[in-house]
Amino acid sequence: MTFSAFLFQALNGLSTASGLFFIAVGLSLIFGVSRIINIAHGSLYMLGTYIAYTFATHIDGGLGYWGGIVATALIVGVLGALIEIVLLRRIYRAPELFQLLATFALVLVINDATLWLWGPEDLLGPRAPGLRGAIEVFGRQLPSYDLFLIFIGPLVLILLHFALARTRFGRLVRAATQDREMVGALGVNQAVLFTSVFALGALLAGLGGALQVAREPANLATDLVAIGDAFVVVVVGGMGSISGAYLAAVIIAEVKALCIGIGVVDFGFVTVNFSKFTLVAEFLVMAAVLIARPYGLLGKPQAAVRSIAEPEEPIRPATPMLKTLAVIVLALLMCLPLLAQSSPYLLILGIDVLIAVIFATSLHFIMGPGGMHSFGHAAYFGLGAYGAALLVKWLGAPMGIALLVAPLAALAGALLFGWFAVRLSGVYLAMLTLAFAQIVWAAVFQWEGFTGGSNGVIGVWPPPPFDKSWVFFVLTLLLAIAAVLLLRRLLFAPFGYAMRAGRDSVLRAEAIGIDVKRVHWLAFAIAGGICGVAGGLFAFAKGSISPETISVGRSIDGLVMVLLGGIQTLTGPIVGASLYALLQDTVMRQTEYWRALLGIIILVLVLAFPQGIVGAAAHLFGKRRAP
C-alpha cells in the first residue's frame, strides 16, 4: 500500500468514526446518568436511517433530505423520551441488569415494527443534495458527503462539550454521572433529568442513523451490529466520557480502515488477508485497552453503585416441597419418550429445553453467586459445539469422545478469557466477556479452511442408538441433571461459599485469606466447562452448527433466561431457561412477527415480576407463611 493510499484510508476511517461517535456518545451519556445499559440504542440508530429514508424519498430536494435528517433526530428523541417515561421509569428500582432485559425486549419489538413498516428489503436513500460530488484527495475521489461527515462528528463533540460545561443541564448530567444519589438528595428532579438525558441520547443516535442514509442502505440487521460497535467504542473510550467516545470512535474506525487498506499481504510463507480481520480487530483493541486501562482510555473508576436490589437470602438446602416438585418434574420428563411415536416433535423440543437449562444454569453460576455478569457466555457454548463438531469432522471421533472434548475445549477457553475477565468488574467485565465472545465468533467465521466459515460444520449426527430421538433425549436429560446437581453441590461446598464471599465483600474476603480473583477465575472456568457440555449436545442434536451458535444473540438469550427466572434463586435459571425456550418455540410458530411478540411477553414479565419469576414466587410464598 502506498503512503497516499494509506492517508486516503485514514480519511475514510474518520468519516466512519463520526457515525460511531453519534451512537456511542448517547449510550455513554445514558449509562453515566441512569446506569442503564440501553441495548435498544442500536435500534434507535437503525430507526434513524429508516425514518430519514422515508423523508428523503417522499419530499423532494434539500428540504426532504436535510430537513428530514433534523426531523428524524427530533422524532427519535421524542421516542426515546416516551420509552423512558412509559417503560424504564417503572423499573429503576428493580435489581441491576433488569433494565437490560427490558431494553433487549425493545430491540425485538422495534426490529419487528421496522420490518412491518418498511419491509425486509435493504433501502438505499438518495445522495445528499448539494454534496453529490467528490473531490480529489491523494489522487483518489473522496465523496464530499464523507468530507462533511468527517467534520460533523467533531462539531457535535464541541457543541456537547460546551453544553455539558456551561449549562445547568450539563452540570446536572455531570454531577449525576459521578453520584446520582447525591444529586437526588440535593432535591434535583431526577425523573426530568433521566428523561431528558435519555431523549438526548436517543436524538443523537437518530441523528447518527439519519446521516448514514446516503452512505449505507437501511438494513434490519443494523441494530445489533451498531450496538456491538457502540459498546466497544464506549468501553474503549471510558463510560461517561464524551471526548473518550470520540477518541475511541476514531481509533476503532482507523484500525478497521487500516485492515481493509492493507488487504492481502504475502509474507512468503503465508498469505494473510487483513481485510478479514476487521471484526476481530475492534474487539482485540477493546480487550487490549481494558487490560491496560480497566476504565477505558479517558474514563475514571466508577463510583461504587450502591445496590438498590433487595439483598439476597442465605442459601438453604432444598425444602421437602421443592424436592417433591423436582421428582415429579423428572418423572414427567422420563415419561416423554413414551410419546415418541405420537408426537416426535415434543422430544426435539424437550432436548432444546434441556440444553437451554444447562446453558442458563452455568451462566447463573457466575452471574448470581459469583456476581460476574458475563455478556459473552455463548463463547463457551460455541467452543463446546465446535470442539465436538470439528473433532467429528476432521478425526472422525466417536460421539463419546467428542462429548468429552466439548467441555474441555470450553474449559480451556474459559480459563484463558477468565484470567483477564476477573480482573475487572461490573459493566467493564460484561463488555470484556462480550469482546472475547466476539473474537471467538470472528475466528470461527473467518477461519473458513478449518471451521467451514459461515457454512459451519454439517453431518454431526449421533451414531446408533442415539440417532433415535428418545435415546438422545434420555442422554441429554441425564447430562442436564448431572450438570445442575454438580453446580448446586459446588454452591453448598466451601468453594461456592468463597465465591459468594468474594461477591458480597472483596475487602472482607481478602481479609480472611481468600484469594478472590483466583476463586472467581476458577468459577468462571467451571461455568465455561459445563456450558461446553450444552454446546456439545447442541451440535449432535442439530447435526450441524454454524457461527450463529456463538452469536451475540445467544449470549443475550442466556442473560434473558437467567434474569427471567430470577438471578437470586438457585432454581431460577432452570425455570427461566425452560420458559424462554418454550416461549421462543411456541411464539415462533404462531406469527411471522414472533420477535415482537416475544419482546412484549418479556416486557410484561419484567413489569409484573421485577425479581424474576421464581423470586416473585418465593416472595409471595414467604409472605403468606409469615404470621
Distance from C-alpha of 516 to C-alpha of 506, rounded to nearest angstrom: 7
Residues 517-536: x where in contact with other proteins by CB under 8 A, - otherwise, as a string? --x--x--------------
Per-residue three-class SS string for 346-381: HHHHHHHHHHHHHHHHHHHHHHCCCCCCCCCCHHHH
Nearest residue (CB) to other proteins, 96 versus 254:
96
Tell which one of 120, 139, 268, 314 touches other proteins (CB under 8 A): 314
98-111 in b/e form (b: 16+ CB < 10 A) is bbbbbbbbbbbbbb
**C-alpha grid cell, residue 468:** 433415535
Given a contact cutoff of 8 angstroms between Cβ atoms, the answer to whether 361 and 557 are in contact is no
Given a contact cutoff of 8 angstroms between Cβ atoms, the answer to whether 432 and 420 are in contact is yes
Nearest residue (CB) to other proteins, 184 versus 494:
494
Residue 403 interacting with other proteins (CB under 8 A): no
Residue 504 interacting with other proteins (CB under 8 A): yes
Beta carbon of residue 495, minimum distance to other proteins (angstroms, whole number)? 5
Per-residue three-class SS string for 157-201: HHHHHHHHHHCHHHHHHHHHHHCHHHHHHCCCCHHHHHHHHHHHH
Residue 507 interacting with other proteins (CB under 8 A): yes
In one letter, which amino acid is 104?
Answer: F
Tell which one of 512, 623, 624, 625 touches other proteins (CB under 8 A): 512
Residue 315 interacting with other proteins (CB under 8 A): yes
Choices 141-149, 432-440, 484-492, 595-603 (CB under 8 A): range interacting with other proteins: 484-492
Choices 226-234, 306-314, 375-383, 543-551 (CB under 8 A): range interacting with other proteins: 306-314
Tell which one of 167, 273, 343, 505 touches other proteins (CB under 8 A): 505
Total site size for other proteins, rule CB under 8 A: 31
Beta carbon of residue 560, minimum distance to other proteins (angstroms, whole number)? 24
Choices 64-72, 181-189, 247-255, 492-500 (CB under 8 A): range interacting with other proteins: 492-500
Residue 485 interacting with other proteins (CB under 8 A): no
Tell which one of 291, 493, 588, 607 touches other proteins (CB under 8 A): 493
Choices 218-226, 476-484, 515-523, 569-577 (CB under 8 A): range interacting with other proteins: 515-523
Q: Which of residues 217-236 bind other proteins (CB under 8 A)?
A: none
Choices 28-36, 111-119, 223-231, 498-506 (CB under 8 A): range interacting with other proteins: 498-506
Beta carbon of residue 454, minimum distance to other proteins (angstroms, whole number)? 40
Tell which one of 419, 481, 497, 600 touches other proteins (CB under 8 A): 497
- Residue whose C-alpha cell reads 473474537 in the numeric block: 439
Nearest to 576 by CA among 335, 363, 376, 311: 363
Given a contact cutoff of 8 angstroms between Cβ atoms, the answer to whether 579 and 564 are in contact is yes
Residue 500 interacting with other proteins (CB under 8 A): yes
Choices 193-201, 216-224, 314-322, 384-392 (CB under 8 A): range interacting with other proteins: 314-322
Nearest residue (CB) to other proteins, 260 versus 315:
315
Nearest residue (CB) to other proteins, 121 versus 313:
313
Q: Work out the number of other CB atoms within 10 angstroms of the CB of residue 298.
A: 19
How far is Cα of residue 70 from the mean position of the Cα atoms in its chain?
Answer: 30
Choices 168-176, 427-435, 496-504, 578-586 (CB under 8 A): range interacting with other proteins: 496-504
| Torsion angles phi and psi, residue 460, rounded to 5 | -95, 65
User: DSSP for 511-556?
Assistant: HTT--HHHHHHHHHHHHHHHHHHHHHHHHHHHSEE-GGGGSHHHHH
- Beta strands 140-143 and 264-266 are unpaired
- Residue whose C-alpha cell reads 461504587 in the numeric block: 304
Residue 17 interacting with other proteins (CB under 8 A): no
Residue 514 interacting with other proteins (CB under 8 A): yes
Residue 423 interacting with other proteins (CB under 8 A): no
**C-alpha grid cell, residue 44:** 434507535
Nearest residue (CB) to other proteins, 93 versus 508:
508
How far is Cα of residue 544 from the mean position of the Cα atoms in its chain?
Answer: 24
Nearest residue (CB) to other proteins, 364 versus 503:
503
Assign 132 to helix, strand or coil: coil
**C-alpha grid cell, residue 284:** 482485540
Distance from C-alpha of 533 to C-alpha of 23, rounded to nearest angstrom: 37
Beta carbon of residue 354, minimum distance to other proteins (angstroms, whole number)? 24
Distance from C-alpha of 252 to C-alpha of 236, rounded to nearest angstrom: 9
Helix, strand, coil shares of the chain, percent, nearest 5, are 75, 5, 20
572-593 in b/e form (b: 16+ CB < 10 A) is bbbbbbbbbbebbbebeeeeeb
Tell which one of 345, 447, 492, 621 touches other proteins (CB under 8 A): 492
Residue 273 interacting with other proteins (CB under 8 A): no
Distance from C-alpha of 205 to C-alpha of 49, rounded to nearest angstrom: 10
Beta carbon of residue 509, minimum distance to other proteins (angstroms, whole number)? 8
Residues lying near other proteins in the complex (CB under 8 A): 311-315, 317, 489-490, 492-498, 500-501, 503-505, 507-515, 519, 522
